[in-house]
Amino acid sequence: MAETPGLPARRAALHMLDAVLRRGETLEQAEGAALRGVRAAPDRALAVAIASEALRWLVDFDALIDGATQRRLPDDAKPRAVLRLMLAQWLRLGTPPHAVIATALPLLGGGPRRLAHGVFSTLAKQGAALPKVPTLPEAARARWGEAAARIAAGLADPPPLDLALRDPGDATPLAVQLGGESLAPGHVRLPRGTPVEQLPGFADGGWWVQDLAASLPARLLGEGQGRHVLDLCAAPGGKTLQLAAAGWQVTALDVSKRRLDLLKDNLKRTGLKAGVVRADALTWEPRHRFDAILLDAPCTATGTARRHPDVLHRIGPRQIAEMAELQTALLARAAEWLKPGGVLVYATCSLEREEGEEQLGKVGLDLLPITAEELPAGLSPAPEGWVRTDPGMLPEAGGLDGFFIARLRA
């Protein structure tokens, strides 16, 4: 008997959801095994989109499900998981209810299938709707405090596509050509869904994909003028490319061979140069000190929830504490490798204070304040001189990732 068309994509989405919520995997980690039996690129993309939207709006989908059941389904019950996917398809991806039912119910059998069918049909007949802004998990709301409502508003939709340009002078003509906008020198923002490989300039390395917030740390080091900079935890290479394009002699260090291979591919495509070192920053010893160091440290990545909504549900106190400990150790190492008067930019794509503000008191370097003139319009440094962005900022332009950035001097 032939399998229902579209069922493999829904089965893959269910496996991804389970891997994130039950095993604590990242969505990216879960994709490999889940998508093994899904060959067509559109079906693979659909599976990821269904799982992503289920995670982005999970709290609100659960509220709808609970409102349509007499007895609350356990959080890990398979009918709840399938219903989350069904609601994501209907309310977020615009799939007609009859098509949702046809492609999702085969994931269940017997009583659970009848239950899911009944709950979904009830919600469809009622014309169920989502709020304008996704509801954050309670733990995330508590951690992010006053900023939580703004952050939630920034998570309602996946982000647009940001390009960082090898030649900043190309920004305006490329933005005009592609119907985008430039929010900073050397930056172009395009609508979501643009096929990257088909864009002008990709093949000849004129640009690379990099969120606007992710481009700020390297910008704050300015022009290199042939000076030496260390890009710690460099892969997959966006900041290395920025620094090389700005005239720095770059040493790019990372421990991951797979990610360094991506960095090398990006260097080859763009024609930019950097020395690439595979090593553990906690044990590596440089041959000389550096004029500048960029430490975009490993972190919980909660600031990337727009594109990776799994972080809303995977990250808690244990993960934050583990990452903060690693960041403290990396900062201490990096501080030893600066020349006198050298500059270190510390950054994390995290919304957690433990990975940002609280790190600064643990390193014996002076804060070199960031000014508003160094930032894109609409962003301002904190009074103390560091920068914190979050997904709710620049809403009229499409938002940006959450980052903490501080500039320090030896």
> Does 106 show up as a binding residue in the annotation?
no
> Does 218 show up as a binding residue in the annotation?
no
Structure confidence at residue 194 (pLDDT) = 77
> Does 195 show up as a binding residue in the annotation?
no
> Does 296 show up as a binding residue in the annotation?
yes
Percent of the chain with pLDDT over 90: 95
The yes-or-no verdict on residue 41 having pLDDT over 70 is yes
> Does 214 show up as a binding residue in the annotation?
no
Structure confidence at residue 5 (pLDDT) = 83
> Does 238 show up as a binding residue in the annotation?
yes
CATH fold of 216-409: Rossmann fold (3.40.50)
> Does 268 show up as a binding residue in the annotation?
no
Structure confidence at residue 279 (pLDDT) = 97
The domain segmentation of the chain, as residue ranges, is 7-126, 216-409
pLDDT tens profile 155-202? 999 999 999 999 999 999 999 999 999 999 999 999 988 788 889 888
- The residue annotated as part of the active site, out of 272, 349, 370, 393, is 349
> Does 164 show up as a binding residue in the annotation?
no
Catalytic: 349? yes
> Does 291 show up as a binding residue in the annotation?
no
pLDDT tens profile 285-312? 999 999 999 999 999 999 999 999 999 9
Structure confidence at residue 2 (pLDDT) = 60
Name the pTM for this structure: 0.95
| Average pLDDT, integer, range 6-27 | 96
H, E, C per residue of the chain: CCCCCCHHHHHHHHHHHHHHHHHCCCHHHHHHHHCCCCCCHHHHHHHHHHHHHHHHCHHHHHHHHHHCCCCCCCCCCHHHHHHHHHHHHHHHCCCCHHHHHHHHHHHCCHHHHHHHHHHHHHHHHHCCCCCCCCCCCHHHHHHHHHHHHHHHHHCCCCCCEEEEECCHHHHHHHHHHHCCECCCCCEEEECCCCCHHHCCCCCCCCEEECCHHHHHHHHCCCCCCCCEEEEECCCCCHHHHHHHHCCCEEEEEECCHHHHHHHHHHHHHHCCCCEEEECCCCCCCCCCCEEEEEEECCCCCHHHCCCCCCHHHHCCHHHHHHHHHHHHHHHHHHHHCEEEEEEEEEEECCCCHHHCHHHHHHCCCEECCCCHHHCCCCCCCCCCCCEEECCCCCHHHCCCCCEEEEEEEC
CATH fold of 7-126: N-utilizing Substance Protein B Homolog; Chain A (1.10.940)
pLDDT tens profile 76-128? 999 999 999 999 999 999 999 999 999 999 999 999 999 999 999 999 999 99
Q: Name the band, by pLDDT with cuts 50, 70 and 90, for residue 349.
A: very high
pLDDT tens profile 352-368? 999 999 999 899 899 99
pLDDT tens profile 261-288? 999 999 999 999 999 999 999 999 999 9
